[in-house]
Structure 1
Amino acid sequence: MNKSKLTPYLLVLPVVLLSLLFLLGILNGLVQSLGIIPSLGLHTPTFLYYREIFSRPELLSAILMSLYITGVSSLVAAGLGVALCAVLVLSRKTKGKMMQIVKIPLAIPHTVVALFVIQIFAQSGLLSRLLFNLGLIDSLNSFPSLLYTNNGMGIILAYLWKEIPFVAFFVISIMANISSTLGEAAENLGANKWRSFFEVTLPLCMPAIKNAFLIIFAFTLGAYELPFLLGATTPRALPVQAFIEYTHPDLLHRPYAMALNGLLFFISFIIALLYYRLLQQDVHKINGD
């Protein structure tokens, strides 16, 4: 075999090796979640740890907390992201400096976003001091506590700052193309701009919006940084609780951590299947099937 025929295989080799390591890590975690850790004297497979994560109060609270934060932030981000996208499309600001501004949150790490949220929304932050100086609140303590609370408001605010631009950036090219073709055709037939948007452009953009929602839902569910930096002591988010169980001094807590990670994996896998299914539907529609 000559060098030119070997080149594609050599180029894909790093991806194959990394994929194998990734799959081995997942497999090892799933095996440990079933209570098979020979180094700890655990040899018998069992679903005990999966049952207990739904019965132990702190673990069940972590699951519910993560689903709440993920659901609220993803739904609100999808709605506001589409609204931002619509404003940009209808005002014909889909290129140039405006889009560069929209991209800024996407380039900033989540740890830096957490610092921004603390500086702005803490009771001694910039917003509370501004309201105090304007005479709108009597003291800094009168400002509502948004960080480290059981409602996860600080985490949700941080995710919204990152996810709204992502949804807008994900959808805007499709929405702009539909608006400039079918949307204008609807306007030429007598529909006003908003009716054309809601009855023509938005329905045709729904597959892209659904895909964006699934992506941010899967990411938010498994993300660790913001829940760790901005979340309450209890209940903790699922990734944070999994880390605590993994680093517990008693190594017999290790299967609980892996069971929590296994739950995250199964939910993410279902989301990936839904995403793939939506893509297949889009392909069939394009092909006219």
Structure 2
Amino acid sequence: MTTSAIEVHGLRKSYGDKVVLDGVDLTVAAGTVTALLGPNGAGKTTTVHILSTLVQPDGGTAYVNGCDVARDPGGVRAGIGLTGQFSAVDGLLTGEENLLLMARLRHLGADRAKARVAELLEEFDLVEAARKPLATYSGGMRRRLDLAMTLVATPSVIFLDEPTTGLDPRSRHTMWDIVRGLVAEGTTVLLTTQYLDEADELADRIAVLDGGRIVADGTPDELKRLVPGGHIRLRFADAAALDAASRLLDETARDESGLALTVPTDGGVGALRTVLGRLDAANLEVDDLSIHTPDLDDVFFALTGRVDTKETAS
């Protein structure tokens, strides 16, 4: 039976007259990645700050690893790690010194701290830069160090708030691999991101936050099926086969020059099986077939009324 690492019910938060969260419900299964998407001002970072005990909610309940964030903040903090939008590293220290400082703050003890720091430097490919000043670190190296500091005490739940903002493509993919490795070892990740492709790559489930509420929650494929635009494109050998298929299939769009038909579909296997079954029954051969489904940009626009792939979490 799948257990929940995070349970949120009716979460509310306001700042003066500004309602930021208006009854948020969210469940994150243990050992999975959930991405929290939403336009600027949707309340993503506020949600993360409440769950990591940095901000008190005005109403509702939230549990992390079974601990109430309002009544047992110490229990929550004991099992979580948080990587914010900006690297929380000390620029006056080396990478190794930053990690040792965090290990001491986590009360690991001298021997365990030294061993854990060595493990993390190796895991995050920072061994050669370990004793160099942070002024020599690239943005990607700083983010890797920041995440390594979060993992000093091996938390079971990690909150990643915009972890790859400003990184080059290679550094982003390195961070993705690190996150996948953590989840493979059983860590639970709640991720906010401004990159829809990042959510598509990493998330087992995506929750779309808009106007202080969760407006959709599901797997990436489930969310893509919520919006129109999916279709099957069929290309035929000649005009006669194109004509016959056009008469056979409903609501198709013809491409005369390309000898192709576009058939609307929800993207499911059943719809594809139905189309191919009808063509096969009529002895119509298809030269080429491709399936097109809406992407997360389409989902984001449909659910929030805007395209905002470069928004800042809030």
Q: TM-score range by the shorter chain?
A: under 0.3
Q: Given the two structures, how large is their TM-score scaled by the length of structure 2?
A: 0.22
Q: Which has the higher helix share?
A: 1
Q: Given the two structures, how large is their TM-score scaled by the length of structure 1?
A: 0.24
Does 1 or 2 have the higher relative contact order (CA < 8 Å, sep 6+)?
A: 1
